[in-house]
Amino acid sequence: MSTRTVDLKNLRNIGIMAHIDAGKTTLTERILYYTGKTYKIGEVHDGAAVMDWMEQEQERGITITSAATTCSWNDHTINIIDTPGHVDFTVEVERSLRVLDGAVAVFDGVAGVEPQSETVWRQADKYNVPRICFINKLDRTGANFDDDVQSIIERLEAKPAVLQIPIGSEADFVGVIDLVEMKAHTWTKDDGSEWDIADIPEDRLEEANTKRAELLDVVAEADDEVLEKYLGDEELSVAEIKKAIRTGTLSGLFVPVLAGSAFKNKGVQLLLDAVVDYLPSPLDIEPVSGFTPGKEEDEISREHSDEEPFSALAFKVVSDPHVGKLTYFRVYSGTLNKGDKVVNTTTGKDERLGRILRMHSNSREDIDFISTGDIVAGVGLKNAKTGDTLSDSGSPIQLESMTFPEPVISVAIEPKSKADEEKLSEGLQKLAEEDPTFKVNSDEETGQTIISGMGELHLDILVDRLKREFKVEANIGKPQVAYREALKKKTDIEAKYIRQSGGRGQYGHVIMELEPIEDGYEFVDLIKSGRIPKEYIPSVNAGVEAAMESGVLAGYPLVNMRATLKDGTYHDVDSSEMAFKIAGSMALKDGAKKAGVKLLEPIMTVEVVTPEDFMGDVVGDLSSRRGKIAEMGQRGSAKVVSAKVPLSEMFGYATDLRSRTQGRATFTMQFDSYEDVPDAITKEITASVRGVEVEV
């Protein structure tokens, strides 16, 4: 039996999260360099970053998958997950945050809080992840530290505890004043490996004292002893202030804010100090909760301890060209040796861990033993998927899984040649295993293969991967919007399925109520005194759900509905599960026609940042796309327009915006909600799908 090499209190599991282009991959590269993991700094803009290991990432200069790596700082081990900042890869952020204990939120010193920064922040709120903020790129023209702090207050509704202020600005940015220790740090060498620590310059002392008083106002609230001393005007030691900052960060009372420029190698070491000082170890996190497999009401929890039975959550599955299927997982409790058996409590199947790998971006180190808090990749877990629990078979636990958004865009895909057919289906299957927001379906009417994802870039990258990794050439159709159908009103419906053609017949009879609800699907069983035997009731539900997959208006999935089974009858001989399943399907189809059905379409939040000269043009164009302008504002010298626009109107928008603004405007787009489609457009859509116009 091996023993752990790192004390649990000295372990940090963190993510680095931000908007695209805020510089978080560069920051991760610098962290790896200063902690001694790499000996040459990788730059994103020349395609050499260690963390961006996929070919497409290196070409596009963006991060697609969350690469995991381990490094050490001040006797602490830090597991870092570098997450993508592009909205199409939200799934990567979501699954990373689920298994992390803390996070570093990186903001662009010029832009401040951007749309994807908000999305990621809300995701971190959902999982109660303590975080610290790093305002990056302070060497850039237009960078403004105070404005960035203000945007954290206004857009994230967070309470900043500003621990540092910059020395110099834009091209003259040379370092930071540490308001906790009241020292000035200036970086002298280009690679940032050496820096001077000195007293605060005379001309900045008054400002530093004011800012420190503001900091103490915020952090004193976190610790009663510190508050008492602070209110009594007693001197606070650095250790007391740090303790209060840690307490407040872990409880979510405030977020520490640090300053720097990762690209110019300034401020990274102090950020690492803050990760160690203020972000949680597994011991600071609530015990992990789950339930006995098969009995959701039977809640159980596990302490973060090697003494507890083994439990872990699989959060990512990738196909690796050298070792096959790699399953990344986070160990919440217990220990495990290479070759040990575990039970996958989500599927009920036993799994054997053939190899355990500690990952450094895309290189790996074989290890024989894992313990609480580890984030590693396993080889040999044949059935594990994202969100599955791996557990000690002697005392099984099933942890809460993960929820992922449904895809909003689809395209038809077909192999360019007969020879590619098999490779295409194998490649698509592997990609769908890796990415829960990527779906592959077959269109029953046309026989076409349809792939669905979170946006045009998402599908572009996946098609690109098919070509590179699976050597499949494929043709892609025009993007299709993932419309949904919903009931207009409540209705009662009766459906009877009777077949009598020699031998045993079929009989299923149901009386149901169908009604629209806000979100999701509910099935309610009100059958009394055995009017329908218990064993047939799940079949009615299965029939309703099967029929919902293809709605009555234009064949899109029917959503947001409650189906209540109120009554029915059965036949001793002729009734069967299949008969009641068919009756359930009939009830849904007939009931939907009776209630009337409307189309729903995905609405996107679109934010455009444009020079003022093009503002009128941009707003007019968004309105012509059925967009509703939500707000208009200023960011630096640029204007910002935020609007809600139907996805169907946004195809090709990037090219349009470029030509409309001479390439000077940028935009981001993310899914917001589903809303009703106007009647005239519903008629067009149903006519194009069915070939005939349908009354709506």
pLDDT digits (tens, 9 = 90+) for 269-283: 899 999 999 999 999
Residue 443, pLDDT > 80, answer: no
How high is the pLDDT of residue 114?
78
Mean pLDDT, residues 113-136 taken together: 84
How high is the pLDDT of residue 60?
47
How high is the pLDDT of residue 266?
84
Residue 52, pLDDT > 60, answer: no
How high is the pLDDT of residue 386?
84
Range(s) of the chain covered by CATH 2.40.30.10: 291-399
> Which of these ranges, 106-120, 127-141, 558-572, has the smallest mean pLDDT?
106-120
Rounded-to-integer distance, Cα 533 and Cα 586, Å: 19
CATH of 10-197+254-281, one of 1.25.40.10, 1.10.3720.10, 3.40.50.300, 3.40.50.2020: 3.40.50.300
Instruction: Cite the beta strand spans of 247-380 per DSSP E.
Output: 255-259, 288-292, 295-302, 311-320, 324-333, 335-337, 341-344, 349-352, 355-360, 363-367, 369-371, 375-379
**51 confidence band (pLDDT: 50, 70, 90):** very low
Within 8 A by CB and 6+ apart from 385, the residues are 314, 317, 346, 433
Within 8 A by CB and 6+ apart from 585, the residues are 543, 544, 546, 547
Range(s) of the chain covered by CATH 3.40.50.300: 10-197+254-281
Rounded-to-integer distance, Cα 281 and Cα 277, Å: 10
Length of the chain: 696
Could you say which DSSP state residue 159 is in? Answer: -
| Residue type for position 324 | G
Q: Token pair for residue 25?
A: 């991959």
SS (H, E, C) 523-574: EEECCCCCCCCHHHHHHHHHHHHHHHCCCCCCCCCECCEEEEEEEEECCCCC
| Residue type for position 606 | V
Range(s) of the chain covered by CATH 3.30.230.10: 485-595
Residue 530, pLDDT > 50, answer: yes
Within 8 A by CB and 6+ apart from 40, the residues are 33
How high is the pLDDT of residue 495?
96
Residue 519, pLDDT > 80, answer: yes
How high is the pLDDT of residue 215?
94
Mapped onto helix, strand or coil, the DSSP state of residue 281 is: coil
What average pLDDT is seen over the chain? 85
Give pTM, 2 decimals.
Answer: 0.69
CATH of 485-595, one of 3.30.43.10, 3.40.50.10860, 3.30.70.100, 3.30.230.10: 3.30.230.10
pLDDT digits (tens, 9 = 90+) for 198-247: 999 999 999 999 999 999 999 998 998 889 988 888 888 999 999 999 99
Q: Token pair for residue 446?
A: 């046309």
> Which of these ranges, 32-41, 91-100, 314-323, 539-548, has the smallest mean pLDDT?
32-41
CATH of 600-690, one of 3.30.70.240, 3.20.20.70, 1.10.357.10, 3.40.640.10: 3.30.70.240
Pairing type for strands 389-391 and 341-344 reads antiparallel
Residue 398, pLDDT > 50, answer: yes
Q: Is-contact 433 317, C-beta < 8 A?
A: yes
Residue 413, pLDDT > 60, answer: yes
**190 confidence band (pLDDT: 50, 70, 90):** low
Q: Is-contact 329 390, C-beta < 8 A?
A: yes
H or E segment at 11?
strand 11-18
Mean pLDDT, residues 478-504 taken together: 88
pLDDT digits (tens, 9 = 90+) for 157-169: 899 999 999 998 8
Q: Indicate the fold that domain 291-399 takes in CATH.
A: Elongation Factor Tu (Ef-tu); domain 3 (2.40.30)
Neighbours of 45 (CB within 10 A): 9
Please tell us whether the domain made up of 409-482 is placed in CATH 3.40.50.920: no
pLDDT digits (tens, 9 = 90+) for 444-486: 666 788 898 877 778 888 888 888 888 888 888 888 888 999 9
> Which of these ranges, 67-81, 205-219, 562-576, 668-682, has the smallest mean pLDDT?
67-81
Q: Which residue has the higher pLDDT, 134 or 22?
A: 134
Range(s) of the chain covered by CATH 3.30.70.870: 409-482
**129 confidence band (pLDDT: 50, 70, 90):** very high
How high is the pLDDT of residue 283?
94
**332 confidence band (pLDDT: 50, 70, 90):** very high
Mapped onto helix, strand or coil, the DSSP state of residue 101 is: coil
How high is the pLDDT of residue 219?
93
How high is the pLDDT of residue 296?
79
Pairing type for strands 480-481 and 409-415 reads antiparallel
pLDDT digits (tens, 9 = 90+) for 64-115: 344 578 888 888 989 987 665 454 556 667 777 888 999 999 898 888 887 6
How high is the pLDDT of residue 53?
45
